[in-house]
Amino acid sequence: MIDVPAAQQLVLQHVRCGSTASIPFGLGCLDRTIAADIRAEQDSPAFDKSMMDGYAVRAGDGNRLRVVGVIPAGGATSDPLLPHEAMRIFTGAPLPLGADAVVKQEDVQREQDHIQLSQTARVGQNILRRGSDMKIDDVVLPQGTLINPAVLGLLATLGCTTVPVVQRPTVSVLATGSELVAVNQKPVGSQIRNSNGPMIAGLAQSCGAEVINELLVPDDPTRLRSAISACLTSDVLILSGGVSVGDYDHVPKVLAELGLVTVFHQVNMKPGKPVLFGTIGGTLVFGLPGNPLSAFVCFHLFVRPALLVMLGRSPQITPIPAQLTIDCHSKHDRPTYAPAKIHSIGVEPLPWQGSSTIRALVEANALQLFPAGEFHAKAGDHVPVLPLK
Ligand code: AMP
Ligand code: MG
């Protein structure tokens, strides 16, 4: 049976960054990935700019100066500053020609049309020089940048009315199981509500993918076949349930009939061993086990890296070391990925009642990796974890 890292590499061999789309500037750009380097179309600031409310002066002109004008933010003057002159200036306003310093108004004594400086001005003080933030043609936002609110502000500064972003992969989510009912139905007998469908759709959307279908089908090969067929227009199909070896686990067989090229089926891990990955035409197909925690862990280990790469981002599959805050003893028959919580001081595994419960995940922000076999670690030891975000 294949190990997790090898299975992840196989997934990555089947994905590449999506094509470029141009979208209008606005809040819709948030969380998208920039698809091409964005350069400055002009210097910023475009002029030598005052960073203070005060007086524009010529440094070395002496401490008593005549005030000859006013420049508010958004204003300008074409009059040059002559020797022993000052101009009233406000934050953000352009310096007049000849001025090379701004003196804060707090450091000035005003006497009618004159000012008295308490200290001699230094060249460049309180001035943001033209081009000091960015120079024309600088790459300000490189390809691959994730658009957060600060980036949105920069895009506005740069005047990007349309933004080149990586196309979002489309995702269909198909929950399978005859025991499942929708959220608005009351389960009777041994029925349960379909929690994987919304959870997986939410995970996919959180990664930045576009969820175009979220369906629920019973363990019926005919209905399964038509539901899967209907989802094959999407870039990624994520199934939950029915991938194991039970009599009602029809997913592998139906996928095979529809032309699945299997890349792997079963991975040496816990939870989530029955996981399946393959392709049908251009669609990546992930079959996640139905147990909610298994589905969650398999999504993080296999689906998320694929979606991130398709979105022009790094797959984030490398575990990082975190310091345990408590002693930890375990015995697992396979390498195990358990819900855990990283605090500012370290990590601790969360209580976990088996793969059928997702309650532990509400608090989790990481998966902690445990090796197969007996494992003992003390508080303060470093253990590998995969952050969930
Ligand atoms: P399966 O992988 O189909 O054998 O399902 C394993 C377990 O997960 C069973 O107990 C199912 O009832 C449960 N399960 C399967 N699909 C879902 C789902 N969509 N939501 C919640 N539980 C599920
Ligand atoms: Mg099932």
Ligand 2 mean position to 9 CA, how many Å? 28
- Beta-strand pair 170-176/210-217: parallel
> Which residues fall inside 5 Å of ion ligand 2, going by CB?
177, 241-242, 290
Query: DSSP assignment of 22-47, as one string?
Result: EEESSGGGTT-BB-S-EE-SS-BSSS
Q: Residue 196: nearest ligand to its CA?
A: 1
Q: Residue 77: count other Cβ atoms within 10 Å of its Cβ.
A: 18
241 C-alpha vs ligand 1 centroid, how far in Å?
A: 5
What kind and span of H or E run contains 195? none
Residue with CA at minimum distance from ligand 1 atom 3 = 241
CA distances from 319 to 9, 30, 292, 366, 379 (A): 14, 27, 22, 10, 19
386 Cα distance to chain centroid: 15
Residues with CB under 6 A from ligand 1: 175, 177, 179-180, 192, 194-197, 240-242, 244, 246, 289-292, 356
* Burial of residue 269 (number of CB atoms within 10 Å: 0-12, 13-18, 19+): buried
Q: Where are the beta strands (DSSP E) in 107-235?
A: 108-111, 114-117, 127-128, 139-141, 162-166, 170-176, 180-181, 192-193, 210-217
Asked if residue 216 lies in contact with residue 180, where contact means CB atoms within 8 angstroms, the answer is yes
The ligand 1 atom nearest the CA atom of 195: 20
Tell how far the Cα of 176 is from the centroid of ligand 2, in angstroms: 6
186-199 b/e with 16+ CB inside 10 Å = b?
eeeeeeebbebbeb
- Per-residue pLDDT tens, the chain, 389 aa: give them: 999 999 999 999 999 999 999 999 999 999 999 999 999 999 999 999 999 999 999 999 999 999 999 999 999 999 999 999 999 999 999 999 999 999 999 999 999 999 999 999 999 999 999 999 999 999 999 999 999 999 999 999 999 999 999 999 999 999 999 999 999 999 999 999 999 999 999 999 999 999 999 999 999 999 999 999 999 999 999 999 999 999 999 999 999 999 999 999 999 999 999 999 999 999 999 999 999 999 999 999 999 999 999 999 999 999 999 999 999 999 999 999 999 999 988 999 888 776 667 888 888 999 999 999 999 999 999 999 999 98
Q: Which atom of ligand 1 is nearest to the CA of 356?
A: 8
How many whole angstroms from 177 Cα to the centroid of ligand 2? 4
* Percent of the chain's residues with pLDDT above 90: 94
Per-residue pLDDT tens digits for 265-288: 999 999 999 999 999 999 999 999
Distance of CA 372 to the CA centre of its chain: 32
